[in-house]
Amino acid sequence: MSATRYTYLGPEGTFTEAALRTLPEAATRELVPMVSVPAALDAVRASEAAGALVPIENSVEGGVTATLDELAKGEPLMIYREVVLPIAFALLVRPGTALKDIKTVTGHPVAQPQVRNWLGAHLPNTVWESAASNADGARLVQEGRYDAAFAGEFAAATYGLEPLVTEIHDAANAETRFVLVGRPARPAAPTGADKTSVVIWLGDDHPGALLELLQEFAVRGVNLMRIESRPTGQGIGNYCFSVDAEGHITDRRVGEALMGLKRISPQVRFLGSYPRAGVALEDVRPLRPGTSDSAFSAASDWLAHCQDGRF
């Protein structure tokens, strides 16, 4: 394995690269852009890279389906940390291009919903075509294939473009969450401000099937931060669920919830327990009564006493 190499959704100048460069260890790694999320993750699977940073969730558009689906299938991978990056777009053009000259624009599909209102107000007659990434859109503008691209302002210099308009976003405080993915190993020790990610498959379609899965978390006081259904590819109506839960797999409430899921689900894929980005320990909400490790231990001791006839 190349322990000094990280891959990311490229080419150079993507928001993913910007997010990756916020990690301290990025300064000592070879950062290799890849053409797609699957390509970045497959390099890790093939031991050609120690990790891959890929987008997984946007505060406007929701889950990044390419990442969710890739983590749910194929050789298992594990999330080790997350990065949350504020997102604002710049309209990048070749030097000399004015707003009235723009007839075609491009960008990553996830970018379009974040700039749709701005486009309607300022460039209502332009044609949008999607690119593999925002930086790839900038490259296509450099080559003359489109008039403008929505990308990070920092990508302009890389592709010899100019930011015609900056700070474009329909929703204030838009963010994208990225995850650093590697090969499975023992999760890092809990920090007290952690997140656990899993993919869960339904056993069969019956009334209350999803409720049964959610109850495994609810009865143990585990808060869910995100749940999304994704098709399994095995026909209409066959879904799995991508879930982020508060807590660490070593927390009794989380571990027992996962054991409960394993009992009733045909497949549960553990994607990792890792620190929550930007959350200080003092900002973590207090546990509900009866859901702490000590409460689980006390209940276990009580059961043992009852089994031994000691009341």
What pLDDT digit, counting tens, does each position of 139-187 carry? 999 999 999 999 999 999 999 999 999 999 898 889 999 999 999 999 9
Burial degree of 128 (CB within 10 A; 0-12, 13-18, 19+): middle
Q: Under 8 Å CB-to-CB from 225, ≥6 apart: which residues? A: 195, 244, 245, 246
Q: What is the average per-residue pLDDT within 220-248? A: 92
Intra-chain end-to-end CA distance of the chain, in Å: 56
* Angle at the Cα of 136 from the Cα atoms of 130 and 139, rounded to 5 degrees: 115
Superfamily (CATH H level) for 186-311: ACT domain (3.30.70.260)
Give the pair of three-digit tokens for residue 104.
């075609």
* Distance separating alpha carbons of residues 13 and 9, to the nearest angstrom: 10
Task: Return the DSSP state at 268.
Answer: E
Average pLDDT over the chain, rounded to an integer: 94
The closest alpha carbon to 37, from 145, 175, 179, belongs to: 179
Please check the confidence at residue 1 and state whether its pLDDT lies above 60: no
Residues of the chain with CATH 3.30.70.260: 186-311
Residues of the chain with CATH 3.40.190.10: 1-86+176-185, 89-168
Tell me the percentage of the chain whose pLDDT exceeds 70.
99
The closest alpha carbon to 13, from 175, 121, 128, 153, belongs to: 153
Q: Which amino acid is at 2?
A: S
Tell me, rounded to whole angstroms, the distance of Cα 229 from its chain centroid.
14
What pLDDT digit, counting tens, does each position of 113-122 carry? 999 999 999 9
Q: Which amino acid is at 200?
A: I
Give the pair of three-digit tokens for residue 287.
């546990």
CATH code for the domain defined by 1-86+176-185: 3.40.190.10
The closest alpha carbon to 222, from 202, 243, 199, belongs to: 243
Q: Under 8 Å CB-to-CB from 142, ≥6 apart: which residues? A: 94, 159, 160, 161
Superfamily (CATH H level) for 89-168: Periplasmic binding protein-like II (3.40.190.10)
Q: How far is CA 83 from CA 75, 79, 161, 192, 279, in A?
A: 23, 11, 27, 17, 11
Please check the confidence at residue 213 and state whether its pLDDT lies above 70: yes
**Taking the CA atoms of the chain, what radius of gyration do you get in angstroms?**
22
Strand, helix or coil at 15?
A: helix
What pLDDT digit, counting tens, does each position of 11-35 carry? 999 999 999 999 999 999 999 999 9
Q: Which amino acid is at 284?
A: V
Paired sense of beta strands 194-201 and 268-275, if any: antiparallel
